[in-house]
Structure 1
């Protein structure tokens, strides 16, 4: 019998006792256990177990009330963990560790350790990196090897670590928009053995001196709105663009490059899969990347020739470092580690609180939850905020019930943090992506129209008056009508246009960057003047 299974046997032998810290549960169901009256009693039960165990309790899951091994499906176990996470949160505790074992019938049984206390003040240095690149160019595999430190098996094995789990998506309060996280302390990288384990990821956030979160984007063609939202809607510090050595830059690579650089995001290009080709091919692809960057008015800086120190000093201000990498041999990953450990945070924390909403959820027993990246300022539990604009252009007061980041409840959140905020005073159905949370003394003026300078990255013909693309500004994704000042815009043109949202107003400010797309047409723009 292995050590891990011995832990399960020990918990079963201790059994449920009136004043004990062990609780047996076959499963939790949102529909049953979070219904009226059940939530409060289950929270009280969990709190009793934690106190009985001097701050720690064990929930044995997938077993009957008398400790018999029942086993549940993976889907049921995910939902069970979802509910247990909510119960722990409501009880002022958190799930510190979960271990699972398979049954002979193919089910799962597990032991979850619940520990008292849930507050975490995120005072660490935290940068957010947006990843982009053509499908199959090794984006997720590269990040998987970075966060785990494990070499890939040559078949994308480390990519599997980054698949989103059903209970993470459905729960919502985790607000884990990033798809990978690792960190650094005084001794170097702090990696996670299994990014699926929320306790490991939370431990990095809690203990690292520098935390690095990766926000995934979509590499498939056609370019999906999710890609644009990941690059434009989050408060990113840096971009990481992958180009496969066996394929080279593609049309999608060029489009992603245009958006990353047009939004002035300091960017690193990683040439991936160098283990699949010879040195001559790597040199050729690096030259192709250099030409691509020069075509966009940027200066390429190959790290292999100029060194890490020069790249870290020069990144931004039109300089784009190029790093050769392989997730299989781990070549170049030490260079990326140095980048992410030493690069300064680029997003400022000054100014009043502001967060554009990216996702919304309804969590039974909690209510409406809005998630996104804090753009500026700070927010604390108990704060009163303004939420809007609603379709009628109005803002309404709401209260912050709780805040959660990377599976930990936090007392406050600062600029650059990816968080979920539980809101009191509004229904989840009334909260929409593209809305914004502001301080109560703000005086926001939502608009339907604004003027902008745009650059057409790609279009099959020309943009005429009346052109209606989807505009992606912050987390807004809305159809809009263009009225170019000169009547039309051709591919490659830069010009002025008036933009009018088709359906409703949003909070738009001068200087904000946006992306627009419609079919094969894509471009970027900057808000130059706002009208009521």
Structure 2
């Protein structure tokens, strides 16, 4: 029996007691349990359970009063969680965690877990639905600070950026083998190979007594604790350093609402072509950037000085002024970082050199200005199908705010339409929140759509919005690198917000040469997206690279996307 199932078994075996913290519920519905004074009675019951458990109660859902496994459908389970959330809020508490199991096969009175089963598969297997265990904790759902900053990392493979972030968020010295990097890698093959192949996320923060770090980032409760305890949060979007996954790195730097960039350069290797490419992307997206010279413990002072000089030269080549923090101090770095100044730190995750200085920097850096637009907008970066919850869309809130229960629009769909959905619940770094504002990295559980229909590059908007998706737009572009020339019909991949889509270029004047800047029409090959003037994007095809800014989202009138299906 798995540990998860043993938790359910113990809860059922302990059972309901008058003075206990466990409550059995087969199901909860809005119609029955939120009407005619029933809500107040159930909220009082929940409050009693929470107080009996010294601030924590357990609700076992999908079971009969005597603990029998009844099972409920995924839709009923979702409604039950909605109602339970409202009851908890009424009682001054919140749902902290939910575990679910499929019912049908039984092992010692507890459901055998088949997390991949769809509703149809459950019926085919003879399953009668879901049983779940919800942990309720005292206290309202988290309200987060308004100056939470998000930092995007970049750098060549094996230059220590993930290890550095791991040391920052835990305070642990690395073992010299990239051990703290393991706190960020999210796929089994990444841990095995020591390489990151997708974006990963980490968080730490600051309170009155200094940094608030994670003891064990693999435990989602530990991340939630940091979010709850810290007065000021710093989230990291850790990107990919290996060249084959450059597309993923671009998605991390372009598709997230970042406040600052952190570029890692290993002292034993120095700046590489990938380093320069990542720096170019950071600067092209106008992101204030910090350079961390990593692994200074692995080289002597002479080599470290040499790499610092190489980094300073690299920065000057692109019109930036390096600011060595060792010489000028962290306060100067906070004051000067921006369009033209790039602070440079010397660090070692093994010896924790430079960690205190980076802490001081991240504690003091101001939140960058948010868009003037007050309307909620979130471009979707990842999607999940969570059993008992349904479709979850993850991304960074681009503007405005969203609350649990808000009615939203999701799209555009391939035909350009938008679908009405509801924000069932919101999580930030595994902590349930009732509201999320611009800059927050969140997951939003969506009611009214299947996960298979939610795609990266889509956007969530308020229900009253009137979005106008496009297949083509005009832009001002700069060609950073190209072996020959860009001309009519050139087809790179365009990375705009979280969308990564092949597009066809039609340059004004017929061509663009390396180093040129000019105007071009850009047409997505396969589907429309929500694009607006002023958005920055990166394009890439083979060794060709460039950046651009959207200048007109209606060049000569866009065709009806539903009728134009290439």
Q: TM-score range by the shorter chain?
A: 0.7 to 0.9
Match of 2:423 in 1: 400
Q: Which residue of 2 aligns with 1:496?
A: 519
What is the 5 A alignment of 1:335-346? 335-346=357-368
Q: Matched residue of 1:194: which SS?
A: coil
1:193 aligned partner: 215
Give 2:302's aligned residue.
280
Q: How big is each residue's C-alpha offset from its partner over 1:466-523, in whole Å with a ceiling of 9 and x where there is no partner?
A: 1101101001111000112132223332222111111111111111000111122222
Q: 1:510 and 1:97, CA in 2 relative to 1: closer, same or farther beyond 3 A?
A: closer
Going from structure 1 to structure 2, the CA distance change for 1:307 and 1:208 (only over 3 Å counts) comes to: same
Deviations 1:125-146 (A, max 9, x none): 3110000000000011101111
Match of 1:16 in 2: 14
Give deviations 1:245-292, integer Å, cap 9, x for gaps. Answer: 000001110110000001100000000000111111111111111111
Q: 1:303 to 1:13 in 2, by over 3 A?
A: closer
Q: 1:96: how far off? A: 7.6
Give 1:119 shift.
1.7
**d(CA) in 2 for partners of 1:482, 1:165:** 36
Asked whether the 8 Å contact 1:133–1:139 carries over to 2, the reply is yes
- For residues 219 and 525 of structure 1, what CA distance do their matches in structure 2 show? 23
Aligned residues of 1:144 and 1:162 also touching (Cα < 8 A): yes
Displacement of 1:114 in angstroms is: 5.4
Q: Does residue 325 in structure 1 map to residue 323 in structure 2?
A: no
Displacement after TM superposition at 1:402 (Å): 1.4
Deviations 1:325-362 (A, max 9, x none): 11111111111111100000114165211111112222
Partners of 2:333 and 2:298 in 1: CA distance: 26
Contact 2:96 2:432 in 1 (8 A): no
- Give the number of equivalent residue pairs: 467
Counterpart selection for 2:403 from 375, 380, 393: 380
Summarize the Cα distance change of 1:337–1:54 in structure 2 as closer, same or farther, 3 Å threshold. closer
| Equivalence for 1:513 | 536
Q: TM-score, normalised on structure 1?
A: 0.80
Aligned to 1:129: 151
| Aligned partner (choices 417, 435, 444) of residue 421 of structure 1 | 444
Find the counterpart in structure 2 of residue 162 from structure 1: 184
Post-superposition offset of 1:397: 2.4
Q: CA offsets, 1:2-46, max 9 Å, x none?
A: xxxxxx99x9899624417588xxxxxxxxxxxxx98879xx9x9
> Aligned ranges for residues 72-471 of structure 1 at < 5 Å?
91-92=84-85, 93-95=94-96, 115-116=137-138, 119-164=141-186, 178-348=200-370, 350=372, 351-471=374-494
- Paired with 2:256 and 2:199, the residues of 1 have a C-alpha distance of 9
1:445-466 Cα distance to aligned partner (Å, 9 max, x none)? 1111111111222223322221
Distance 1:15 1:530, change over 3 A: closer
The alpha-carbon distance between structure 1 residues 300 and 14, as it changes in their structure 2 partners (threshold 3 A), is same
Worse-matched range after superposition: 86-95 or 208-217? 86-95
Match of 2:551 among 523, 528, 531: 528
CA distance 1:86–1:492, shift in 2 (3 Å): farther
TM-aligned CA distance change 1:408 to 1:317, over 3 Å: same
4+ residue runs over 3 A deviation: 11-15, 20-23, 37-41, 46-55, 57-60, 84-98, 111-114
Distance verdict in 2 for CA 1:317–1:214, change over 3 Å:
same
CA distance 1:525–1:158, shift in 2 (3 Å) = same
Aligned residue in 2 for 1:173: none
Query: In the superposition, relative to structure 1, how do residues 212 and 292 fare at CA in structure 2: closer, same or farther (>3 Å)?
Result: same
The 1:287–1:427 alpha-carbon spacing in structure 2 relative to 1, beyond 3 Å, is: same
| Greater RCO structure (CA 8 Å; 6+ sep) | 1
**Contact kept in structure 2, 1:15 and 1:22, CA below 8 Å:** no
Aligned to 1:4: none
Task: Note the residue ranges of structure 1 that are not aligned, 5 or more in a row.
Answer: 1-7, 24-36, 61-83, 99-110, 167-175
Q: Deviations over 1:192-212 (max 9, x none)?
A: 111112222111111211100
Q: Which residue of 1 aligns with 2:68?
A: none
Q: Indicate how the Cα distance of structure 1 residues 530 and 311 shifts in structure 2: closer, same or farther if over 3 A, else same.
A: same
Please provide the CA RMSD for this pair.
3.4
Change (3 A) 1:89 1:147: farther
Alignment CA distance shift 1:402-1:443 (3 Å): same
- Judge conservation of contact 1:387–1:436 (CA < 8 Å) in 2: yes
Q: SS of 1:358's equivalent?
A: strand
User: How far apart in 1 are the matches of 2:183 and 2:80?
Assistant: 26
For structure 2, which runs of at least 5 residues remain unmatched after alignment?
Answer: 1-5, 30-41, 61-76, 86-93, 100-132, 189-197, 559-566
Give the 3-state SS of the residue equivalent to 2:500 in structure 1.
strand
The 2-side partners of 1:177 and 1:14 are apart by 39
Aligned position for 2:53: 53
